Structure 1
Amino acid sequence: MALTPADVRNKQFHVVRLRPGYNEEDVDDLLDRVEATLMALQGGPQSGPLITAEEVQAARFRSTRLSPGYNEDEVDDFLDVIVDDLRARGLSSGATAGAARRPTQHPYAQQHPQGPQPPSPYGAPGAAQAPGSGPAQPPMRPAQPPIGASQPPPGAAGPAYGETPRERPRMTPEDVRNKEFATTRLTTGYNEQEVDDFLDSAEVTLEALLNGRPDRALLTPAQVERVQFGTTRARPGYDPAQVDAFLDLLADELRRYEQP
């Protein structure tokens, strides 16, 4: 099925943190050109030359590591779909038709350092996602009941909040550090910097609790449940439903360390 302008406009990618990703603005600018081309082909206004399959193939994006960026594999796969669609519409010079389109490394990266992508039980790239449609004001999440107790293994983590944890922790600092969320475009999302800063505090908190140092914890379950983030619409933001669901898990995890 041929791509539509809405397919491009509503496309979402997971955001990676602390490992290479594509600069979001670079990717969004290219997708805006693709969307404008598809709109012109449907009889809409044409404000510039139509983009070709070769131009999409030749696009290169800056890489990010210290700031959030789009998952490179997801972007590469979607751009390959765009290239095929534009060629099917005749928007190709034919110079590279029939040639191998993808090298073994990320073809659209200006820099593409490679490294393993650690799996996380709390969300992984490529998971099913729905376009963000959160309210203009972020909702208050209701308190969640504690997760049922389980038997801790021998040599479980030391005391936290003055007590030995009753359950084996299921969320680690690495789970928080590597957590990814889909991003919204032209729909309401959470401010990425605010969410990232809060997750940094959550990572420090889990590290402290796992090491038996509750005095170094920066967050409590109540603070996780009550946090509110600014919202975005004109620029990318994190999917509110995915962020809220993860913070509910985080609050449950921190609650396990509380005294009875």
Structure 2
Amino acid sequence: MLRPEFTVRRIGERYDRDEVDALVERILATANRTTPPSVTVADLRSAAFRTPIVGTGYSAREVDDFLADAEQWMPDRPERSVDRSAPAGPQREAPLFTPVRFREGYNPAEVDDFVDRVMATVNGRPVDWPVTAREIRDVQFSPVRLSEGYDVQEVDLWLEKAEGWLGGA
């Protein structure tokens, strides 16, 4: 999991940067399993930060969104109940994108890795870090120009559709 980048604000709803950074480090260590679990879903739901009286802070909305997304990465996250008696729903198919050359495209390795995570998430298969609608909305792939890449418009249209599958549209 990558470290989030929050907008720094001087006014408005904002959280103390040091307090947020300390919790984010613990979240990353727990999610990446580099330490024994030290953050729980309850910790994320009860997290509270000071608002700086003067100076800068992180956007409260962005931090709150991150904490909500981070629940999916915690070892103690609530499991979705699955009714085993009901027939399994249709599995969504992974897309096939048109390769492009000599015009800008997206890095195929990055796109393929992300698509694998999206497909595992929407099809209910095990995945280390389930994808969220927000992550789909915010993802950025490296552009390629001289080597083969994936058609930018096709990938962007598919991302919009995938965001809808996760309730983000």
TM-score greater than 0.5 by the shorter chain: no
TM-score norm. by structure 2 comes to: 0.44
TM-score norm. by structure 1 comes to: 0.29
Look at both structures and tell me which one has the larger radius of gyration over its CA atoms. 1
